[in-house]
Amino acid sequence: MTSKSIDFAHYIDHTLLSMNATEDQIIKICQEARDNNFYAVCVNSGYVPLVTEKLKGSNVKVCSVIGFPLGAGLTSSKVFEAKAAIDAGAQEIDMVINVGWLKSKKTDAVKQDIAAVYHACGTVPLKVILETCLLTEDEIIQVCQMCREINVAFVKTSTGFSTGGATVEAVSLMRETVGPNMGVKASGGVRDQATAKVMIDAGATRIGTSSGVSIVSGTKTTSNGY
């Protein structure tokens, strides 16, 4: 598949998750998403009402992150935040797993944590962030198998706030594990069209990035963000 044949815009979750993101910056990414017909805008839950307002009447979806970026909160707090974000207008939810529990071999707790948020989301698609840079191949496979059993919508590589972002190897392994039907989201460090294409070729069906405009236009970005 050539870059010219890929509708990059349809893959893009246009993302701004920094703790110092201003309202003006959020409004700007909403306008960019509308102008380029991106798939979604992804923000922290406190900005969901604003994004919902700014995207009204467009085809761009509102996405919010839960338990972000550490994933180490109580399951009950993740469930509450997911429900609150959905009530505020979120149409997709990206949650972070509890990596510490996984490293502690508390696999049942990890699965129950994911399942609780999945059930809280109801019909709203849930993406599960693995933070692959912190996991072994076996741990990536383990979480992907859990997610497949729970029937979440997507597995996602990264928060973009840890020691590394998406890699081709991780995306390929996730795709191989979940099979052809579940979504795979590559996020963290995807800042240009060439990198986006490599991720898509490896099996990604969504790209989480703050460089969506650069990706669709084929230009370079100076951003060091998500």
Residues with catalytic roles: 94, 156, 185
17 phi and psi angles, rounded to 5 deg: -125, 5
Positive or negative torsion for Cα 116, 120, 124, 127: negative
Positive or negative torsion for Cα 177, 179, 185, 190: positive
Positive or negative torsion for Cα 123, 78, 187, 210: positive
Taking the C-alpha atoms of residue 82 and residue 95, their distance in angstroms, rounded to an integer, is 8
The continuous run of DSSP H or E covering 45 comes out as none
